[in-house]
């Protein structure tokens, strides 16, 4: 099963034909995705389920219907185990961005964190997950596929928001403040955090 977000509404991708009576279930091969996304954006559809009997075909069909933008980012902890947050578009988020040509996923994740926050001395601890969300750019819907890594740093210097990317603030937040920030974040970002942050 996969969750693909349109704003904060998840489209569920699964191998089951039905997952609940309040879901509109559509075979992924036949789905007019652009029309369905527009209906979600207008609030006409709140629960959408796309299905295919073979698990491995779900993302393949989705990626045939939408151009994919590969991205990478980090859930970054300092020595106090505070989390690195950015503030943009009136919501708290964590740093991420597009993978450049011939760049490895890991290198892109580290570069994007450095560029968006000014934090250096980053080390990848482990891969966390991949999140999917649909966005509109130049009047076209695209699928952002973001690879997330848990990172650590010993950096204690100045935090510098990348203003050209619309980032207004960069902050380290402890567990309590992280929970508060996640209440004003995005649903797909919450999927990157350990359970205790969502309590």
pLDDT of 192 reads 98
CB 137 within 8 A of CB 100: no
| Percentages (nearest 5) of helix, strand, coil residues in the chain | 25, 40, 35
User: pLDDT tens, 10-25?
Assistant: 999 999 999 999 999 9
Which position has the token pair 């991708």?
Answer: 13
Q: Does position 199 have pLDDT exceeding 90, yes or no?
A: no
Q: Phi then psi for 114, rounded to 5 degrees?
A: -60, -45
pTM: 0.95
In order of their start, the domains of the chain are 2-65 (no CATH), 68-198 (3.90.79.10)
Give tens-digit pLDDT for 62-120: 999 999 999 999 999 999 999 999 999 999 999 999 999 999 999 999 999 999 999 99
């Amino acid at each position: 099963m996969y969750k693909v977000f349109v704003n904060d509404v998840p489209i569920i991708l699964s191998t089951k034909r039905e997952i609940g009576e309040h879901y509109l279930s559509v075979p992924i091969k036949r789905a007019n995705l652009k029309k369905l996304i527009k209906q979600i954006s207008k609030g006409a559809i709140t629960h959408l389920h796309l299905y295919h009997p073979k698990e491995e075909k779900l993302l393949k069909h989705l990626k045939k219907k939408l151009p994919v933008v590969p991205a990478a980012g980090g859930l970054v902890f300092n020595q106090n185990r505070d989390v690195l947050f950015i503030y943009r578009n009136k919501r708290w988020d964590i740093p991420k961005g597009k993978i450049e040509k011939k760049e490895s996923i890991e290198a892109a994740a580290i570069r994007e964190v450095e560029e968006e926050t000014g934090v250096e001395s980053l080390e990848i601890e482990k891969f966390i997950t991949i999140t999917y969300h649909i966005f509109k750019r130049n009047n076209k819907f695209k699928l952002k596929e973001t690879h997330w890594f848990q990172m650590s740093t010993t950096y204690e210097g100045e935090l510098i928001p990348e203003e050209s990317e619309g980032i207004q603030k960069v902050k380290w937040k402890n567990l309590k403040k992280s929970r508060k920030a996640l209440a004003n974040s995005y649903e797909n970002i919450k999927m990157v955090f350990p359970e205790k942050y969502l309590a």
